[in-house]
Amino acid sequence: MVEIYRAEGVETDARTFQEVELQARLVLHDRVEEGNTGTEPELWQEYFVALFTGCGVPPSGLERVSERVREAHAESHLWTHTAPRTAEVMMQLAKAGYRIGVISNADGRMEGALERAGVRPYIEFVIDSATVGVEKPAPEIFRAGCEALDMPPDSCLYVGDLYPVDYLGATAAGLEAVLLDPLGVHSARASTVSDLEALPAWLEARRA
């Protein structure tokens, strides 16, 4: 994304982009509180406009940047950033006896992305919305994950980073949930951790 911006004459860096992206997510959260599900195309259009303009893309460049982003995503899947120590944390959880699966709103390429990230060996199953025909926050996709583990929903914990799609979707399906919340904006209405590295300690405290 930063390379696309620079090609259009907009100078930014990865850190700025990550900060703006977290702020852009709040657009989705606000709209859910107004009664939306969080998956409507017009909401994601608002998200991307906030993401582009927050990094300095002028109104005259929005259409060009949007088209280049669509082309880049079609070619190599943009949603593939792996946070530091992700593999180590997942290995730690697996060694502690936790069973791990992935439920993702994606386009059929999620399993390959997980393999390239080096975390697929720790995952029992991957449910990609494009292959099962239903997407979060629909309860059916969360329950499919529980069925894959042969466990009831109230014995499963879902970890996600979007409050309306992940947290609300999982809890509505009967699962417990915890939200990755780097900005700390949801602690009053959800169980949260700052990032994936904080999850093992959160789980240990919960078991105590």
Q: Compute the half-sphere exposure of residue 155: CA atoms within 13 Å on the CB side of its CA.
A: 10
pLDDT at residue 78, as a whole number: 77
Domain ranges of the chain: 2-76, 86-207
Work out the average pLDDT over 96-105. Answer: 96
More confident residue, 50 or 31: 50
Work out the average pLDDT over 100-108. Answer: 94
| Secondary structure letter of residue 167 according to DSSP | I
pLDDT at residue 29, as a whole number: 74
Work out the average pLDDT over 91-106. Answer: 96
User: Among candidates 58, 60, 65, which has minimal Cα distance to 5?
Assistant: 65
Percent of the chain with pLDDT over 70: 98
Are the CB atoms for 72 and 178 separated by under 8 Å?
no
- The CATH number fitting domain 86-207, selected from 2.40.50.100, 1.10.760.10, 3.40.50.1000, 3.40.30.10: 3.40.50.1000
Work out the average pLDDT over 56-72. Answer: 91
More confident residue, 86 or 37: 86
Q: Which residue has the tokens 């620079």?
A: 6
pLDDT at residue 38, as a whole number: 66
Q: What is the pLDDT of residues 149-174, one digit of tens each?
A: 999 999 999 999 988 899 999 999 99
Q: Which residues, 6 or more positions from 141, have their beta carbon under 8 angstroms from its beta carbon?
A: 103, 127, 129, 132, 134, 135, 169
pLDDT at residue 75, as a whole number: 82
Provide the mean pLDDT of the chain. Answer: 91
More confident residue, 158 or 73: 158
For 56, the token pair is 């300095």
Work out the average pLDDT over 69-96. Answer: 88
At residue 207 the predicted structure's pLDDT band, cuts being 50, 70 and 90, is confident
Q: Flag whether pLDDT at 9 surpasses 70.
A: yes
Using a cut of 0.85, tell me whether the model's pTM lies above it: no
Work out the average pLDDT over 111-116. Answer: 92
Q: Flag whether pLDDT at 69 surpasses 80.
A: yes
Are the CB atoms for 38 and 32 separated by under 8 Å?
yes
pLDDT at residue 8, as a whole number: 87
Q: What is the pLDDT of residues 166-206, one digit of tens each?
A: 999 999 999 999 999 988 888 998 999 999 999 999 999 98
